[in-house]
Amino acid sequence: MGETSNLPTAANFVHDVVVEHNATGAFGGRVQTRFPPEPNGYLHIGHAKAITADFELAREFNGVCRLRFDDTNPDTEDASFVAGIVEDLAWLGYPLDHDPLFTSDYFAQLAEWAELLISNGLAYVDDQDGDTISEQRGGYGKPGVESPFRNRTVDENLALFAGMRAGDFDEGARVLRARIDMQHENMQLRDPVMYRIRKEPHHRTGDGWSVYPTYDWAHGQSDAIEGVTHSLCSLEFDSHRALYDWFLDRLSEFAALPFEQPRQYEFARLELTHTITSKRKLATLVADGVVDGWDDPRLPTLRGLRRRGYPAAAIREFCHFVGVSKTNSRHEIELLESFIRTRLNKVAQRRMAVLEPLRVVITNWPTDADGDPIVEYVELNNNPENTEDGTRTAPFSGVLYIEHDDFKAEPPPKYYRLTPGREVRLRGAYFVTATDFVSDDDGNVVEVHVTYDPETKGGNSLDGRKVKSTMHWVSAAHAVEAEVALYERLFAAEVPGSETGDPFDDLNSDSKTLLHGCKLEPALAETAAEEVVQFERLGYFAADQRTPLLFHRTVGLRDEWANIQKRK
RNA sequence: UGGGGCGUGGUGUAAUUGGUAACACAGCAGUUUCUGGUACUGUCAUUGGGGGUUCAAGUCCUCCCGCCCCAACCA
């Protein structure tokens, strides 16, 4: 987490609010936030922004931020998500220093407070069904209609709510509603539902409850119980703030709240181009097998990004840079990728790997007494950005693999690489000149013949002669075979669904390419699981967490040659 | 249709709170380079629109326009 604090100050209006509060003595200088996911899915990049906003705000003011599971809906929640979220949070850089909190731990307190509101005529049991209640709510600019059950006596309400709690009624038969104002211009205040009946067992409380608090009734009260001061949430809860305050205001009239009343602040959620952050839609992609699970490297889930090789620190830096504001916006995925590259450029070890191999024979390479090509070992830098990472050695011999794209029988304009008659450098080894090539029946080049200049050992010419390009290579006799997964954007459109309204219409059917028979330099066989290395000239690649010799392309290098080709 | 939020370059975020538009990404043009990588240089907006106040407005006033959110017993 330390790195983040070294970044320049980014936009954060909540930060400014806290500064203001501290200046005026609000909350006694205390800052407490919370990250409140519902355990009904895995965390994604959008959550990363909320997480950094919550945790970093607390950290900056020496406050505390705690994880609280907002588990008020037994229909959708699952214990496996609880564990997954805790794990992802730790990976992101926020390991828990406390047992996670659960809204379900406050169910008893919440119910007690609900009875307090009932006793003061501020809540009532409604026997109508959802459709009726919804109709009576009215509409924007249209008045609401009061429920015929709105004026039940306190005793009747108390008895009925007790019955709801006892499980006397079926799901949907009754709800507890706040008694506010059916004509309120803010629809949220038109007698919102506080409790509904659910018979589904809860992942923690089991069959202990048959009524469950709604988000609105649970959230502010949970914040108050914990002593949260600044309760951050996304923009769409803006209209809920009045309700958040109403509950707390009323409650504080009848009960002593343990802390000063928390306040809610809304900020814009993080949206990125070429991807989606809807939990429901991500779940659909997983369920339909469009991707290979929640940790598919194409997904914006934290576990997907992790598997893909995105460094947690880079994600944090990105979130910090993006800041906290109220403007609805969508960041270009390229910005995130630039943070990934910047970080990886500093730390990733350089290696040579040939993804689409083309056989190269050095026709003048010397042989030993048995007639076999001799083998030399060349020394290579592990990381030009950090000489302390030292060097390694790679075997070089008379038969090699180079990238198929690195040879063209007929070079296009501005092509610097190998082509008949041209001399190039094989990184760290020798200058070679293409003399000939072999094609198959379809005209595809299958082998290139070159001659090498023994005077250029190590990759430099004695006469100062320059070469246009330096290419990576792998010795055929020593190559380690591997699989490499290449990823493109999961969604072709910048804004998935912008045309048809359905994001899935913009799914890119070619988002994954699995390459077999890739040739790696021997040092790559020792790559640790999850380590990200740079395949020189190609990009950053992450070793799979479970399968050895499987690499995922994290992100490509910036590629000017690709831009040149695109322009044509 | 009522209420609320928001509009600065291709994208996102700034602007000492009225003082002459900054940073990053992307793009383009170059320099350096044993990665067409990195690094470095240059270039790329007059702030949704109109009117007003002022020596001075992205910042204040006013009218208009546009986008987003709210009528789940989801969160």
Separation between Cα atoms, residue A238 and residue A337, nearest integer Å: 31
Q: Tell which of A249, A267, A285 closes a domain.
A: A267
Closest nucleotide to A430 by C1' from CA: B34
Beta bridge partners of A381: A391
Cβ of A567 < 7 Å from strand B? Answer: yes
- The reply to whether A295 falls in a domain is no
Closest nucleotide to A136 by C1' from CA: B71
Shared domain for A244 and A364, answered yes or no, is: no
Question: For tokens 């209209």, what's the residue?
Answer: A239
pLDDT at res. A1: 35
**Pairing of β A64-69 and β A32-35:** parallel
pLDDT at res. A257: 87
Whether residue A19 contacts residue A111, with contact meaning beta carbons closer than 8 Å, is answered with: no
User: Minimal CA–CA distance to A534: which of A342, A299, A332, A306?
Assistant: A342
- The reply to whether A276 falls in a domain is no
Separation between Cα atoms, residue A347 and residue A455, nearest integer Å: 34
How many domains are contained in chain A? Answer: 2
Shared domain for A377 and A255, answered yes or no, is: no
pLDDT at res. A567: 78
If residue A399 lies in a helix (H) or strand (E), which one and from where to where?
strand A399-403
- The reply to whether A449 falls in a domain is yes
Scanning residues 474 through 513 of protein chain A, those with a beta carbon under 7 Å from any atom of strand B turn out to be none
Is residue A17 classed exposed, middle or buried when 0-12, 13-18 and 19+ CB atoms within 10 A define those classes? middle
Query: What token pair was written down for A274?
Result: 């070429």
Q: What value, to the nearest 5°, has the Cα angle with vertex A21 and ends A15 and A27?
A: 115
Scanning residues 348 through 367 of protein chain A, those with a beta carbon under 7 Å from any atom of strand B turn out to be 350
Q: Tell which of A267, A300, A316 closes a domain.
A: A267
Cβ of A386 < 7 Å from strand B? Answer: no
- The reply to whether A109 falls in a domain is yes
- pLDDT for A448-498, tens place per residue? 999 999 999 999 998 989 999 999 999 999 999 999 999 999 999 999 999
- The reply to whether A330 falls in a domain is no
Shared domain for A363 and A257, answered yes or no, is: no
Shared domain for A66 and A172, answered yes or no, is: yes
- The reply to whether A88 falls in a domain is yes
Whether residue A46 contacts residue A269, with contact meaning beta carbons closer than 8 Å, is answered with: yes
Q: What is the 3-state secondary structure (H, E, C) of A240-282?
A: HHHHHHHHHHHHHHHCCCCCCCCEEEEECCCCECCCCCCHHHH
What lies within 8 Å, CB to CB, of A260 at 6+ separation is: A26, A27, A28, A229
Shared domain for A245 and A371, answered yes or no, is: no
Q: Is the dihedral of CA A453, A456, A462, A466 positive or negative?
A: positive
Q: Is the dihedral of CA A289, A293, A294, A299 positive or negative?
A: negative
DSSP A26: G
Cβ of A274 < 7 Å from strand B? Answer: no
Known catalytic membership, residue A260:
no
Q: Tell which of A479, A498, A518 closes a domain.
A: A479
Return contacts of A285-292, CB within 8 angstroms, 24+ apart.
Answer: A290/A504, A290/A507, A291/A490
Q: List strands edge to edge, sheet with A32-35.
A: A32-35, A64-69, A101-102
pLDDT at res. A499: 87
- The reply to whether A25 falls in a domain is yes
pLDDT at res. A9: 55
Q: What is the CA radius of gyration of chain A?
A: 31
Separation between Cα atoms, residue A277 and residue A513, nearest integer Å: 23
Is residue A555 classed exposed, middle or buried when 0-12, 13-18 and 19+ CB atoms within 10 A define those classes? buried
Scanning residues 173 through 212 of protein chain A, those with a beta carbon under 7 Å from any atom of strand B turn out to be 173-175, 185-188, 192-193, 196-197, 212
Q: How far is CA A239 from the centre of its chain?
A: 27
Region label for A509, one of left (φ > 0), alpha (ψ between -120 and 50) or beta (otherwise): alpha
Cβ of A568 < 7 Å from strand B? Answer: no
Residue A377 to residues A365, A394, A400, A457, A559, Cα–Cα distance (Å): 14, 5, 13, 11, 30
Helices assigned H by DSSP within A397-457: none
| CATH number, position A438 | 2.40.240.10
Shared domain for A137 and A261, answered yes or no, is: yes
C1’ B19 / CA A495, Å: 40
| CATH number, position A263 | 3.40.50.620
Q: Is the dihedral of CA A179, A184, A187, A189 positive or negative?
A: negative
Cβ of A34 < 7 Å from strand B? Answer: no
C1’ B51 / CA A327, Å: 27
Cβ of A428 < 7 Å from strand B? Answer: yes
Helices assigned H by DSSP within A25-153: 45-60, 79-92, 107-119, 130-136
Shared domain for A118 and A243, answered yes or no, is: yes
C1’ B53 / CA A326, Å: 29
Cβ of A534 < 7 Å from strand B? Answer: yes
Known catalytic membership, residue A38:
yes
Shared domain for A261 and A372, answered yes or no, is: no
Region label for A121, one of left (φ > 0), alpha (ψ between -120 and 50) or beta (otherwise): left
Beta bridge partners of A423: A433
Shared domain for A113 and A250, answered yes or no, is: yes
Separation between Cα atoms, residue A156 and residue A149, nearest integer Å: 10
- pLDDT for A162-190, tens place per residue? 999 999 999 999 999 999 999 999 999 99
Cβ of A140 < 7 Å from strand B? Answer: yes
Is residue A403 classed exposed, middle or buried when 0-12, 13-18 and 19+ CB atoms within 10 A define those classes? buried
- The reply to whether A307 falls in a domain is no
Beta bridge partners of A361: A399, A449
Separation between Cα atoms, residue A385 and residue A45, nearest integer Å: 28
C1’ B36 / CA A490, Å: 27
Q: How many CB atoms lie within 10 A of CB A270?
A: 25
Separation between Cα atoms, residue A449 and residue A294, nearest integer Å: 46
Range of the domain at A66: 2-267
C1’ B22 / CA A133, Å: 52
Instruction: Give chain A's end-to-end CA distance (angstroms, integer).
Output: 44
pLDDT at res. A464: 87
Separation between Cα atoms, residue A366 and residue A254, nearest integer Å: 94
Shared domain for A409 and A262, answered yes or no, is: no
Name residues of chain A where pLDDT drops below 70: 1-10, 568
